[in-house]
Amino acid sequence: MSEAPNAQLPKSVDPNRLAEQNTTLEGIIPLAGLVRFSEAVPGLPEGSECHVKLSFFMDSERRRLVSGEVSAPVILECQRCMNNMQTTLESRFDLGLVLNDEQAQRLPKALEPFPMEDYNADLWAMVEDELLLVLPPFPLHERQDCPASKELEALEPQQATEKPEAKKREDNPFSVLAGLKNTKH
């Protein structure tokens, strides 16, 4: 069972059945439908969608796992120039589907737990959590693309024309001792 890449993903699925059938779901989620994420970013491009690929499977210990990839366009505020910048958030993740804290604690460290309720998993919440985790704490334009780059260059001291080695010898506090060592008494 695999969905067309441009179909909207369902909000809720039975991950146990999908894992037993080794199913991959591909589709989109309208970003406007992810309320927590929409509130966390300064803006979203008109009609923007998150592209999602989720592979459900079982490992050798019969744990239900999800391996996923998400990609979403967003508008963030550059912390250098304070202007909006459009970028794409991307994430790859591996989750263990769990019903309770005990199952979550038994997962290998490489897996993050994702709680199911009554054997249903909220795919939209799963994707929203991953997008929130990959939001950069200090988004920045590339330096050469940032409108503030000229102001930054004006504030930075000019490159010294001296070689760094010569500067290091001047600033060495032990250079006086080295001079005493080489003089004869």
The residue that leads in pLDDT, 152 or 90, is: 90
- Look over the chain and give the mean of its residue pLDDT values, rounded to a whole number: 84
Q: What is the dihedral of CA 60, 98, 35, 82, to 10 degrees?
A: -60
Instruction: Give pLDDT tens digits for 85-106.
Output: 899 999 999 999 898 899 899 9
pTM recorded for the entire structure:
0.74
* Sheet of strand 84-98, all strands in order from the earlier edge strand to the far edge: 24-30, 49-58, 64-77, 84-98, 112-115
SS3 35: helix
How far lies 113's CA from each of 20, 28, 50, 117, in Å?
18, 23, 22, 13
For the ranges 71-75, 157-161, 169-173, the lowest mean pLDDT is seen at 157-161
